[in-house]
Chain A
């Protein structure tokens, strides 16, 4: 193998790393003891998650009347949270699938944790439409089951049913894609355990992987084909989510720009969440040599692109609503910007359109602190985007007598905060029990992109 490393590109792995050193560094969080800080953060997350579970239980027991929904605003925080979480999930698949097809090697340090984030985010997302059904024990009615429950099949013309298929396919395919990649790394951890208990656990998790040539050959084929399948899948998922709105006749929802605009927004918010998590994780788990400033900068560039697409979409929406000449459409957008929810519209505009543009400055793009703060802004902005689309479009009905406002109850707030708790609890468990970086992939690039081999190479 020739030396492929470029003297112009910055190395993706810092320091002088051997194969063994990579195994050591990635296994350390799993084998070491959690420190006090971890325990405190974990306890807080678990308590918040528990509070969320309590609010969910209260909703199921009493009915969704405990939420702030009313006859005019029938979708509010629940669907906002659903779209927000699904969108966050998209970055994981983009990193692991699309960047694999484009042979972007910086993907390798971050794909494992980004995919974990995808899975946990989709779990949080799925809770909302299921809860919104009210009688959650009948959730299986969305499946095309034989009609012993009545004489009707599910309606395949409905985007809500497309969503059922899209989200379940997306979740299950992401899960197997993630796990397929984890098997060889679990084997690496298994083979270095001395305690029989740990050995047993990782032996089961690794499915008895041995790393023979034939296994690797099949592994590479499966990874490539799964990436190829996940690429259109991830684009289809948010497209279908956007069709929940776009196929309706509500002014503000009924627009053909929604699918690409939602997909760009999803990737935008997903990368923000990846950055929020990874900037903390690299520090806490001492992975600074693997998740470098170069990685952060690459993700920030994606945030500029997708953030700008989202910005253009906002302006296009405004222009088209005026240009269409449809009074309802024009009112819907005027009302968004100047009506009673103006504050949410301008929060969205500030967080999503203005703040990511700061990444044009190299200094800001390469600063961890600035990136972290802007990523939080984007997370908030993208939540407001969904809130603006859903609530401001609904709260002014066709009949002015139906006009109203939406006020969240403590249950609305509780389940939203609760899912954030669930998300962080799952991610914290992941960070101490799973190999957070795909070691077997990273070992394939250490020769061509680390500092030690940039000078001397055989």
Chain B
């Protein structure tokens, strides 16, 4: 079986919605999405799956770059996108169900976003 955990394909931000649309048309399932904060940039991972075959795409974006939501293509993305927005501060626009920072009822704003120059 192919090692799906290691194969992470980097795509530019502009292609995110196109790739998500292609995955939807192919009948694939959104398996997970998550954000990582590395070297003053965000790395966003989106995994799509059919049966046991999984493809993961990585999008690297700047801290102030706007990211289009894929929740109009994959409805369940709204939970992942609200999480990225509230825990990391990723600027995601157009989430179908946007909680406006109320999905996680936590006291700290964007707790996983480090100060500029941090690790």
**Are A and B associated in one complex?**
no
